Amino acid sequence: MINVGIIGAAGYIGGELLRLLLPHPQAEVTKVYSASQQGRRVDSVHPNLRGHTPLTFTDPADLDSHDVVFIAVAHGKAAEYVTSLGPDAPCVIDLTADFRLRDPEAYRRYYGDAHPAADLTADFTPGLPERHREQLRTADRISVPGCMATAATLALRPLAAAGLIRPDVLIDAKIGSSGSGSSATTTNLHAERSGAMRVFAPHGHRHEAEVAQETGLRVRMAATGVEAVRGAQVLCHCTTEPGVGEQDLRRAYRAAYQDEPFVRIVAQRRGLYRLPEPKLLIGSNYCDVGFSLDPDSDRLVAIGALDNLVKGGAGNAVQCLNIRMGWPERTGLEFVGLHPI
């Protein structure tokens, strides 16, 4: 049993970490930290946890010693905590964007400021088990990628690695409202966000830099908020290299994912759910990937879908924890997903 602390536990990602870790057989969440909610009961902020925890939020200034610390604060704030934890601190799993980009120049371009602690970035292993599992087994600093970045990287990486697609890719991403966090802003009001098709990032979404880093492709990403609380889906518009057929694509995906516990290949000819769709994945740690190749041309659409708070965040972080600790990778992540929902 390891002793876990969560900094930023009052947000939506923090709540998902709690949902997954409270019943986890090998981890005990001993303290949860929130600057804004200190003193309140955890289940008053995350009411789904009623009956599952007596914890209250603690001021992050009173950070205890933990075997593993998860950080789920606002982007830009994790660097402070990592710095103050110091190099001897135990395992840190960061869910913010702070240590995702290895290139400080890319950070500056996408986040608008110089990196607050650029020298620490090299310590972090990207928290993407499907690509960095071996390093994760011994990593003490893990940086969990962005939700849409995870979906797109998983959809594109096997094709890029096998040389099946040309290097320019356009990603059209859709995401639910929980991706905007739990702050009370007009943007996130029900009456304003309901039924939206809101192009909040017509170009240069920050996650495109992560996809480029992980796949080596030249990536453009546009992102639109659609009516959903959870769920993200990416359509990756690619061009295949000459001679590439459907079987090559399927083989590349199978080679990459046949032993993966949380990636399924969904690319059927028929059926309502023949391609990846996030609504089936709500609450689960799956990322479904699939594709459709135009029979008359070299046009390929590769698709990824996931729950942005689970495989796109907290679930992926728990999967990294399981790997790091040598536990079975599915531990605590068994939820299958619902239909209908």
CB of 85 to a second copy, least distance (A): 29
Given the residues 91, 147, 236, 238, select the one marked as catalytic. Answer: 147
CA proximity to 290, closest of 277, 308, 303:
303
- Name the one residue in this structure whose structure tokens are 């859709």: 174
Radius of gyration of the chain (CA): 19
Burial class (CB in 10 A: 0-12, 13-18, 19+), 339: exposed
Is residue 5 within 8 A of residue 67, CB to CB? The reply is: no
**234: helix, strand or coil:** strand
CB of 109 to a second copy, least distance (A): 8
CA proximity to 16, closest of 229, 329, 305:
229
Neighbours of 165 (CB within 10 A): 24
Residue 292 CA to residue 249 CA, distance in Å, equals 10
Residue 172 CA to residue 179 CA, distance in Å, equals 16
Identify which of residues 121 and 284 has a Cβ nearer to a second copy in the complex. Answer: 284
Residue 300 CA to residue 181 CA, distance in Å, equals 33
Residues written for the chain? 341
Identify which of residues 79 and 147 has a Cβ nearer to a second copy in the complex. Answer: 147
Identify which of residues 243 and 340 has a Cβ nearer to a second copy in the complex. Answer: 340
Is residue 88 within 8 A of residue 109, CB to CB? The reply is: no
CB of 329 to a second copy, least distance (A): 14
CB of 179 to a second copy, least distance (A): 9
CB of 117 to a second copy, least distance (A): 26
Identify which of residues 86 and 190 has a Cβ nearer to a second copy in the complex. Answer: 190
Task: Name 287's bridge partners.
Answer: 263, 306
Identify which of residues 4 and 266 has a Cβ nearer to a second copy in the complex. Answer: 266
Query: Is 287 one of the catalytic residues?
Result: no
Please list the active-site residues: 147
